[in-house]
Structure 1
Amino acid sequence: MGCDGGTIPRRNELVKVKQKPEPRDQTSHLIFQWRYCNLTQQLLQRPIVTCGLGKLYNKSAIIQAIINRESPPHIRTLRDVITLNLTPNPEFRENGTDQIDVSPYICPVTGLEMSGKYRFVALWSCGCVFSERALKEIGVGACSRCQEAFDEADVVVLNGLEGEVRVKMDMRKKRKKEWRKIQRIKKVRVGENLQ
């Protein structure tokens, strides 16, 4: 490459072009999201918890992270997560190898697999997990599995988009602050009545 006239440089030898990012494999991304702990990247094992953002964690990993003060910023205590009541898939066989085509958990109402192909939601009030399709059929009011009351703010989309889940998480926190404020007022009134 002396440019003495004997060689003609090509464009790719002279100009460095920004490399296009390699597209990620959607299947492997979904498997990772739905089968591995978001904190430790280990296989999810019961008990499984979710945060207000809908990310899935091993409960032991969250406890360890809280103790070591290494937890995500939106998780400070165990009150910031909820243990999920998952329905096991009878077709899933746990034999040490990953079954890519069969999910370990399903929706108790519709039977859809919790693999990322369909949207799933958890109810913050009780921890029950349903497909979004089943929740639309059931409606807001009472959980069809445990009969506990819930409203729209209690619905957490599992592995959902950051913007939509953050709005609901903020609504739940605001409602919790208002409830605590009401409880403090009631406590003060009860104390005044006793005196």
Structure 2
Amino acid sequence: MGCDGGTIPKRHELVKGPKKVEKVDKNAELAAKWKYCTLSQEKLRRPIVSCELGRLYNKDAIIEYLLDKTAERPNAEAVTHIRGIKDIKELNLTDNPEWEGERRNAKGDRYEDIHCGMFICPVVGLEMNGKHRFCYLQTCGCVFSDRALKEIKTEICHKCGDPFKDEDIVVLNGTKEEVQKLKEKMEEKRVKAKTKKSKKSKAVETVSAPPESKAVAGPSGASSSTKGSKSLAASATKRSIQDMEEKSEAFKSLFTTHSSAKRSKDQTSNWVTHTPYHF
């Protein structure tokens, strides 16, 4: 049986088979991770920072996110673990001399190498394009290939000379398993910092609190606190010099509490001038 025009349909045109699973282009996936900001999806440009999970961001995009977290962003779930500027590290990257930027294929008359990376490893020269594992040091922010750190084992940074430990190495754009390990490490580190901060605050509170006065028994058996209370009571019940009968009248007249030092209302002057002089 034919259709209009004498065409005969084939089986695949009449019977619908299972849908083909769309595969993600690996080159596009690598370019999205290593050449574009994880938050803003803009091209990476200096200064470039990374979080404790090894993701790459533009620093200005992270600052805008921290200043206004209520704004709607397409990839906000990728930065929920970033609480402040201390949770990111600015990377010390080495430029690739072969990278020409946007001008490399302006005319379209030459081969475009999509695997050419903007940065390279300063030790072995590998390009940071996703084909090789790269790491950065949390102490100084310098970026190296994993091969360089394994072949030249040292506890000093190859680029700036700062000391580091194995726990300071963070893998950039690692696998799901590596990201999960980095997440557990980050949470454990934050819990330790929180407990340390709480202990420090408690110690400061105990130091700033005034010590409680304790009663110390003296040689006569009376406590120092009772002596202090007695001295306070004695000072509160002091008599006036004018009431002391054993003092002479000449001695009492030396003080302002004596009757001779007091003036009556007629003797006091009433100042009405604008100057404090009295003639």
Q: What TM-score range do you get, normalising by the shorter chain?
A: 0.7 to 0.9
Partner of residue 178 from structure 1, selected from 167, 173, 192:
192
Partner of residue 125 from structure 1, selected from 117, 134, 139:
139
CA, structure 1 residues 149+181, in 2 after alignment: closer, same or farther (shift >3 Å)?
farther
1:158 is displaced (CA, Å) by: 0.9
Gaps of 5+ in 1: 2-7
Partner of residue 121 from structure 2, selected from 107, 110, 133:
107
1:156 is displaced (CA, Å) by: 1.5
Q: What secondary structure, in the 3-state scheme, does the structure 2 residue paired with 1:130 have?
A: strand
CA, structure 1 residues 65+186, in 2 after alignment: closer, same or farther (shift >3 Å)?
closer
CA, structure 1 residues 106+9, in 2 after alignment: closer, same or farther (shift >3 Å)?
closer
Give the letter aligned to residue 73 of structure 1.
T
Sequence identity percentage: 43
Provide the aligned C-alpha RMSD in A: 3.0
In structure 1, the residue matched to 2:92 is 85
Structure 1 segment 26-105 matched on structure 2, within 5 A: 26-69=26-69, 70=73, 71=76, 72-97=79-104, 100-105=114-119
Q: d(CA) in 2 for partners of 1:193 and 1:76?
A: 31
Partner of residue 152 from structure 1, selected from 158, 163, 166:
166
In structure 2, the residue matched to 1:4 is none
Q: Return the structure number with greater relative CO, CA threshold 8 A, min gap 6.
A: 1
1:101 is displaced (CA, Å) by: 4.2
Give the letter aligned to residue 24 of structure 1.
V
Q: d(CA) in 2 for partners of 1:174 and 1:113?
A: 33
Give the letter aligned to residue 133 of structure 1.
R
In structure 2, the residue matched to 1:167 is 181
- Give the aligned length: 193
1:186 is displaced (CA, Å) by: 4.4
Give the letter aligned to residue 28 of structure 2.
S
Name which of structure 1's ranges 18-27 and 124-133 shifts more when overlaid on structure 2: 18-27
Gaps of 5+ in 2: 2-7, 106-112, 211-279
Q: d(CA) in 1 for partners of 2:51 and 2:62?
A: 10
1:31 is displaced (CA, Å) by: 2.1
In structure 1, the residue matched to 2:277 is none
Q: Is the 8 A contact 1:87 1:108 kept in 2?
A: yes
Normalised by the length of structure 1, the TM-score is: 0.80
Q: d(CA) in 1 for partners of 2:51 and 2:154?
A: 21
1:83 is displaced (CA, Å) by: 1.1
Normalised by the length of structure 2, the TM-score is: 0.59
Q: What secondary structure, in the 3-state scheme, does the structure 2 residue paired with 1:29 have?
A: helix
CA, structure 1 residues 64+146, in 2 after alignment: closer, same or farther (shift >3 Å)?
same
Q: What secondary structure, in the 3-state scheme, does the structure 1 residue paired with 2:57 have?
A: strand
Q: What secondary structure, in the 3-state scheme, does the structure 1 residue paired with 2:98 have?
A: coil
1:177 is displaced (CA, Å) by: 3.0
Q: What secondary structure, in the 3-state scheme, does the structure 1 residue paired with 2:136 have?
A: strand
Name which of structure 1's ranges 73-82 and 83-92 shifts more when overlaid on structure 2: 73-82
Larger Rg: 2
Give the letter aligned to residue 86 of structure 2.
R
1:184 is displaced (CA, Å) by: 4.2
